[in-house]
Amino acid sequence: MKYRTLGRTGLQVSEIGFGGWGIGKTSWIGADDQVSLQALTAARDAGVNFFDTALAYGDGHSERLLAKVFGKADDLVVASKVPPKNMLWPARPNTLLRDTFPRDHVLHCLKRTLTNLQREMVDIYQFHVWSDAWADDVEWYETIEEIRKSGQVRFVGISINDHEPTNVIRALETGLVDSVQVIYNIFDQSPEDELFPYCQRHDIGVIGRVPFDEGGLTGKIRPGVTFPDRDFRNYYFVGDRKQQVWEKVQQLAADAGIQLDELPDLALRFCLSHRVVSSVIPGMRTAAHVQSNTAASDRGVLPPDMVSNLHKHRWIRNFYTPPTTWTNKVKGKIRRLTEAY
């Protein structure tokens, strides 16, 4: 495992970090605790020292699993997130800071997170959604100042809304934010346009999330594949999206001259090939996932010509938004049920 410096924080983080959403037992996706604990242990054994979690992941369940495995180990870098008070992901354009991250809510959530983690300090405390309209709000300034002075937060970060990489620039200009977490993968290369250059100029740490496009870049999403009832991917790959992804990844693999089962390695190494990215945090719910993903660091970054070739596979779309046909279908069901009563 190789390590990189997380921007101006000076923290040394593993190139492959552990994304803790999948072990949170949320309503979106199921996970077995024993399997999750084995995955966490395997990650540490493989050299992973960066673990990213959130209070919203199973109402603190992901945080508590970290504590169960690692206790107060001081050789780890742990990041967590404060959920929006209105529980809206992503942040809506017209919402106000006082409805999302008021001071008392942030402090209350921080206390819960530290209790869950069994720690006196969290290395990186991130706002779990963001709207740059809040960057001028005095309460936000004061809240950050308070949590820093409390000694309970080392550095402050923002987890940027899905597919909105520039919706954070104003916040970064305040100098209050030390790191950003952003969707970055072969399909969504948009952070390279403005966000990454800004972070490079100002030494902002970058954490890349969703490197596999929720599974799309693993080569395993194809027509006919099914997921468990509670699995988030039933929503993400609704309608004809499996077919769309299947066609894209076949083109990608052929162009890169690799087999489909080599796509995950390619996806991770693509992210690490941008020098501003400090760590990539795939979800790793099993020890097997850990072994496969952490090996990407050992293989190193991709050759420049390969990276250049992959740039043409940028695919602009947002699968977090349901298609119109799907939305209308759901509305139709609701209307029929309403009429029945």
Average pLDDT rounded to a whole number, residues 319-341: 51
Number of domains in the chain: 1
Mean pLDDT across 215-228:
94
Confidence label for 307 from pLDDT (cuts 50, 70 and 90)? very high
Q: What's the mean pLDDT in 14-37?
A: 85
Residue type, 81: K
Residue 97: which domain range? 3-340
> For 200-225, what is the mean pLDDT?
97
Beta carbons of 142 and 173 less than 8 angstroms apart: no
Q: What is the mean pLDDT of residues 212-231?
A: 93
Both tokens of residue 41? 């242990």
Start-to-end C-alpha separation, the chain: 60
The mean pLDDT of the chain is 93
pTM, entire model: 0.93
Q: Which residue has the tokens 């929720």?
A: 214
Beta strands in the chain (DSSP E): 3-5, 12-14, 18-19, 50-52, 77-82, 122-127, 153-159, 179-183, 205-209, 277-280
For the segment 263-292, the average pLDDT, to the nearest whole number, is 97
- Whole-angstrom distance, CA of residue 227 vs CA of residue 214: 13
Q: What is the CATH number of the domain that holds 40?
A: 3.20.20.100
Tokens describing residue 118: 């069994």
Using CB atoms within 10 Å of the CB of residue 157, give its burial: 0 to 12 exposed, 13 to 18 middle, 19+ buried.
buried
State residue 278's pLDDT score. 98
pLDDT at 89: 93
